[in-house]
Amino acid sequence: MPATSSSYPGKIILFGEHAVVYHSHAIAIPVNQVRTTAVITPLIQYPPGSIEVSAPDINTKCRLNMLAETDPIGYAVRLTLQKLHVDKPPAFSIHITSNIPIAAGLGSGASVSCSIAKSISTYLGKPFSPVEISDIAFEVEKLHHGIPSGVDNTVIAIGQPVLFQHGEEIQSLQVGETLNFIIADTGIKAQTGEVVGSVRLRWQADPTRFDTLFQQIDHIVLAARDAIRIGDVETTGKLMLKNHQLLQDMEVSHPALDRLVETAMSANALGAKLSGAGWGGNMIALVRENALPPLENALLQAGAVRVIRTRLESSFEESHV
């Protein structure tokens, strides 16, 4: 069998994080400027069932059977083989690389799982569909996040911006005008599962208040969908800021995130908000193209450890996927 490779992007949430766990809507887009790649190489002289795993970004290099059952990479490999009904595949090595920052809300874990599932299924001659890949990544996400929303695995496996609601048919988005974004990383690592768990505890203690917050966010998401569809960038930006304020009320922001949001708005961003679980990770700002360089400089001076540009192109037709 020839060597096989597969690559998947990162992702970022534009609207709806946390509320989406409670059946509200969310909008997420792929971030193609950062990616994970998995390369499968045959091990001709090894016995069937031998699998070597190499992930230099996390200092992992070992046989598959040396990885714990709860190791995300090991679990993704085993689950893929299980779904393929393959007990002892022809021996192979899988080499995984990624330039997606870890624990920063950019979907690093889901991207790795998608790359693993696609590369192994293709190598064994039974390439999975995007839905099958998403399903595998979702199961692995449970190790990372406890109760995942399903957003990360969905948008990464499909590779296009989506309007997502758990348990409902996924919709790709019509985009009326190209949107330019800058993602700014605080450099502060936050475990999504811990933040999601903290919100759940506060929701259980005060369900009326948090249900109201979730409903307000849901209204913002649907209004943003409509604004993006008609190319109303000013309204889209204002809605981002409103979403951030509600996430602050939910106590998932962080002084570093708030500082980057304030810096972005002072540097002529149209809107800005935290993205992902919060307590660190990334902020995303909507900006006109001619304002990108000065905004990047301002965010770096305000403490961002890295910035990434990404775009939402105006060529998508809305459809069910």
Whether the predicted pLDDT of 112 surpasses 60: yes
How high is the pLDDT of residue 317?
47
Whether 82 and 157 map to the same domain: the answer is: yes
Whether 154 and 186 map to the same domain: the answer is: no
Looking at the chain, the whole-number percentage of residues with pLDDT higher than 70 is 97
Q: What is the span of the domain harbouring residue 22?
A: 4-164
As a whole number of Å, the end-to-end CA separation of the chain is 32
Q: Are 25 and 4 in contact (CB under 8 A)?
A: no
Average pLDDT of the chain, as a whole number = 92
Residue among 28, 4, 24, 3 at smallest CA distance from 15: 28
Whether 294 and 152 map to the same domain: the answer is: no
Whether 179 and 209 map to the same domain: the answer is: yes
* Residue where a domain stops, chosen among 119, 134, 164: 164
Whether the predicted pLDDT of 267 surpasses 60: yes
Residue 51 resides in a domain: yes
Q: Which stretches does DSSP call E strand in the chain?
A: 4-15, 26-42, 51-55, 60-63, 92-98, 162-164, 171-172, 179-185, 271-275, 282-287, 306-312
* Residue where a domain stops, chosen among 125, 144, 164: 164
Whether 143 and 204 map to the same domain: the answer is: no
Q: Which residues contact 66 (CB under 8 A, 6 or more apart)?
A: none
How high is the pLDDT of residue 83?
96
Whether 132 and 10 map to the same domain: the answer is: yes
- Would you call 152 a catalytic residue per the annotation? yes
Whether 146 and 180 map to the same domain: the answer is: no
pLDDT band at 176 (very low <50, low <70, confident <90, very high): very high
Whether the predicted pLDDT of 321 surpasses 60: no
Other Cβ atoms closer than 10 A to 266:
11
| pTM score above 0.75 | yes
Whether 53 and 153 map to the same domain: the answer is: yes
How high is the pLDDT of residue 316?
47
C-alpha 283/C-alpha 186 separation (Å) is 8
pLDDT band at 145 (very low <50, low <70, confident <90, very high): low
Residue 298 resides in a domain: yes
Residue 256 resides in a domain: yes
pLDDT band at 319 (very low <50, low <70, confident <90, very high): very low
Residue 318 resides in a domain: no
Question: In this predicted structure, which of 83-92, 218-227, 306-315 has the lowest mean pLDDT?
Answer: 306-315
Amino acid identity for residue 255 in this structure: P
C-alpha 174/C-alpha 319 separation (Å) is 8
C-alpha 51/C-alpha 87 separation (Å) is 12
Residue 197 resides in a domain: yes
**Residues 135, 152, 185, 218: which is the catalytic one?**
152
How high is the pLDDT of residue 1?
65
Residue 212 resides in a domain: yes
Q: How many domains does the chain have?
A: 2
Whether 139 and 211 map to the same domain: the answer is: no
* Residue where a domain stops, chosen among 164, 189, 209: 164
**17-71 per-position pLDDT tens digit:** 999 989 999 999 999 999 999 999 999 999 999 999 999 988 999 999 999 989 9
Residue 320 resides in a domain: no
Whether 222 and 130 map to the same domain: the answer is: no
How high is the pLDDT of residue 3?
83
Residue 94 resides in a domain: yes
Query: How does 165-186 read in b/e, with b if 16+ C-beta sit within 10 Å?
Result: bbeeebbbbbbbeebbbbbbbb
